[in-house]
Structure formats: C-alpha cells, structure tokens
C-alpha cells in the first residue's frame, strides 16, 4: 500500500491474536434459520438435504484448511477444532471468524443450488452465518465442548421430533407446545411411543447424534512441533492434507476409545 497522509488511520485498528498454544474452536451458526427453513419449506423436524448441504460445506472448509482436525455439526451450526499449534493467519480472531462465516455462507449457497436446481436461493432469503472463536486451555475442556454440542443436538432433536409428530397427529403448534411444557426426556419418549407409534431409538443417527468430520491418519506418528524448520512444517502440513476426512454420526460423549484412538487431535 502506498504511503499517504491518511495512512495513520490504520493505527486505530485492533487485532486480537488468539492465545498461543491453546485449542481454537470456531463455531458458525446460520442467521435466522427458523425463518429460512420455513421459507424453503424444510421437512420437519429434520430436512436431510439441508443437513447434507451443511455437511458438504463444512467438509469443503476442512479440505481447504489442514489445521482443522475435526468438526461437529447439527441443525444450522458447525464447530471446527483447530490444532493447538495452528498458525493460520497468525491466529487473528477477526480474520478467522469472518473467513469461516463467509466460507460457510457461500459454500452453503453453492451446495444448496446443486441439490435444488429447481429451487435455487433467491436474493431476499440468502443463507448467512455468524462466527465466533473460543480458545480452550486443555483437551478435557475441548471434549466437554463437543459433548455440550452433542447433548444440545439430542435435546433439541427429541423435542422437535415429539413436537412435529404431535402436530402430525392434528394438534396445533400451540397445543403441541403446551403438551410438552414441563416434560422430561422419558416423558417425550413415552409420548412418541404410545401416541405416535415411534421408537425414538430407531430414528436416524444423523438426527440424534449430529455429524462428526474427523481427519483420520493411516500411519500416525507423534510429531514434535517445536524447533521444526519451515520445510519440515510444510511436510507435516502435506501429511495432514492427505489424511482422509471421515464422516460419522456416533456418540462422542461417552466413547473414550473414539478419542484415545485419535491422539493427533490432542497434539
Ligand atoms: P488478503 O487476504 O490479505 O486480504 P488480498 O489478496 O485480498 O489478501 P488485498 O490487500 O485485499 O489483498 O488486495 C486486493 C487485491 O485484489 C488487489 O491488490 C488487486 O490485485 C485485486 N483486485 C481486487 N479488486 C480488483 C478489481 N476490481 N480489479 C482488479 N484487481 C482487483
Ligand atoms: P439465530 O439467528 O439467532 O441463530 P435461528 O432462527 O437460526 O436464529 P437457531 O437457534 O440457530 O435459530 O435454530 C436454527 C433453526 O433452524 C432450528 O430451530 C430449525 O427450526 C431450523 N433448522 C436448521 N436446520 C434444519 C434442518 N436440517 N431441518 C429442519 N429445520 C432446520
Ligand atoms: Mg441460527
Ligand atoms: Mg443454531
């Protein structure tokens, strides 16, 4: 940029560099998707294609940035875990948040239009996402973070499944809401079973558990990051890029083996 007398205004800018040596989670969430899903007439409680669109968009982001080791998504949100030593954009918070949010928005639009050639996105109802970054000091909290999101997915899905099946039985949305007020999980399971003839356990795993994308190495060896030359770092990045991205809909709250068999997530 050429120097000018106006250059000084740049000094007003403030940049937050996310704490080094901590796990970064970036979460994006669709803006006003309650309305968005009504407008595009999503299947309720779960529109499978809309979930595919989210998963494809997140997968694409993960392919693009090898620093993302795993991602978890449900509904209109996705959380991306960046490795502890990540130096992407010097860990600049604004750069990362705005970038992830805009990538999600544009990829969402792209994949939506691929799945729905006859129902493309129209200008007055476009998908937009916000983004935030959170840093976590140790892996225990990272695991709790993902447990928190998966529990949230479960609670929302059980509620929505019961709600929409009551509506299908002929209750008005207000009546269904009233019926569910003050109920706990076992009550909802019972309503579904007795009144709607649905065994919640048989619902699709993607609805109950959400989607996990995780970078899986074939022959993983622990790598010491400190003191590596830039060439060695590049080689490591190449290995990360090569690792296959697995897609699954499984319990990650109680399954220690799932985490223990992927030691690179902690690195
Ligand atoms: P960063 O990701 O750091 O923003 P950048 O490549 O986007 O990197 P900018 O400083 O934002 O860098 O500069 C934008 C660049 O995009 C310009 O240097 C110019 O080369 C190019 N560019 C943008 N708009 C136009 C345009 N309308 N016509 C030709 N070139 C353009
Ligand atoms: P905000 O802008 O505050 O995020 P929001 O309307 O997006 O508001 P959320 O709490 O993010 O509210 O909830 C997202 C809503 O989007 C859900 O309540 C649900 O109605 C809808 N939704 C998202 N994905 C799907 C899907 N695959 N199938 C059906 N409905 C969905
Ligand atoms: Mg939302
Ligand atoms: Mg949401």
Q: Which residue has the higher pLDDT, 186 or 235?
A: 186
CA of 239 to the centre of ligand 4 (A): 33
* pLDDT confidence band for 13 (50 / 70 / 90): very high
Mean per-residue pLDDT for 43-52?
97
Q: Are 233 and 89 in contact (CB under 8 A)?
A: no
Mean per-residue pLDDT for 148-172?
97
Q: Are 197 and 223 in contact (CB under 8 A)?
A: no
Kindly tell me if the per-residue pLDDT of 247 is higher than 70: yes
Residue 225, pLDDT score = 73
Helix (H, G, I), strand (E, B), or coil: what is residue 28?
Answer: strand
Q: Which residue has the higher pLDDT, 143 or 243?
A: 143
Q: Which two tokens stand for residue 244?
A: 């296959």
Determine the distance from the C-alpha atom of residue 25 to the mean position of all C-alpha atoms in its chain, rounded to a whole number: 10
Residue 241, pLDDT score = 86
Q: Which two tokens stand for residue 179?
A: 């019926």
Mean per-residue pLDDT for 47-71?
98
Which ligand sits nearest to residue 90's alpha carbon? 1
The verdict on the CB of residue 51 being under 6 Å from ligand 2 is yes
Q: pTM for the complete prediction?
A: 0.94
CA distances (Å), origin 74, targets 33, 55, 126, 170, 260: 12, 9, 19, 28, 23
Mean per-residue pLDDT for 107-135?
98
* pLDDT confidence band for 142 (50 / 70 / 90): very high
Closest to 246 in 3D by CA, of 53, 28, 71, 79: 71
The verdict on the CB of residue 211 being under 6 Å from ligand 2 is no
> Which residues hold their Cβ within 5 A of ligand 3, which is an ion?
29-30, 33, 76
Kindly tell me if the per-residue pLDDT of 1 is higher than 70: no
Among the atoms of ligand 2, which is closest to the Cα of residue 44? 29
Mean per-residue pLDDT for 60-87?
97
Mean per-residue pLDDT for 49-56?
98
Each residue's pLDDT tens digit, 174-213: 999 999 999 999 999 999 999 999 999 999 999 999 999 9
Q: Which residue has the higher pLDDT, 220 or 84?
A: 84
Kindly tell me if the per-residue pLDDT of 222 is higher than 80: no
Closest C-alpha residue for ligand 2 atom 20: 34
Mean per-residue pLDDT for 259-267?
95
Fold of the CATH domain 16-151+205-266: Alpha-Beta Plaits (3.30.70)
Query: Mean pLDDT score of the chain, rounded to an integer?
Result: 95
């Amino acid at each position: 940029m050429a120097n000018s007398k106006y250059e000084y205004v740049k000094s007003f800018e403030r940049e937050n560099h996310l704490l080094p040596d901590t796990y970064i989670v970036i979460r994006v969430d669709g803006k006003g998707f309650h309305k968005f899903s009504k407008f595009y007439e999503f299947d309720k409680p779960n529109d499978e294609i809309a979930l595919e669109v989210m998963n494809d968009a997140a997968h694409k982001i993960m392919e693009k940035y090898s620093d993302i080791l795993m991602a978890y998504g449900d509904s209109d949100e996705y959380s991306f875990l960046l490795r502890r030593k990540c130096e992407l954009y010097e860990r600049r918070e604004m750069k990362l948040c705005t970038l992830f949010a805009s990538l999600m928005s544009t990829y969402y639009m792209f994949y939506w239009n691929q799945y729905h050639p006859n129902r493309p996105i129209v200008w007055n109802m476009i998908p937009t996402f916000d983004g935030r970054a959170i840093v976590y000091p140790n892996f225990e909290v990272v695991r709790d973070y993902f447990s928190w999101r998966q529990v949230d997915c479960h609670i929302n899905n059980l509620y929505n499944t019961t709600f929409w099946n009551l509506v299908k039985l002929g209750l008005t949305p207000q009546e269904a809401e009233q019926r569910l007020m003050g109920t706990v999980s076992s009550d909802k399971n019972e309503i579904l079973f007795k009144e709607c003839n649905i065994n919640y356990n048989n619902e699709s795993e993607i609805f109950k558990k959400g989607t996990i994308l995780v970078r899986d190495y074939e022959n993983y060896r622990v790598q010491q990051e400190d003191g590596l030359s830039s060439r060695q770092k590049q080689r490591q990045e190449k290995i990360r890029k090569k690792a296959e991205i697995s897609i699954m809909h499984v319990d990650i709250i109680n399954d220690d083996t799932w985490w223990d068999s992927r030691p690179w997530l902690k690195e």
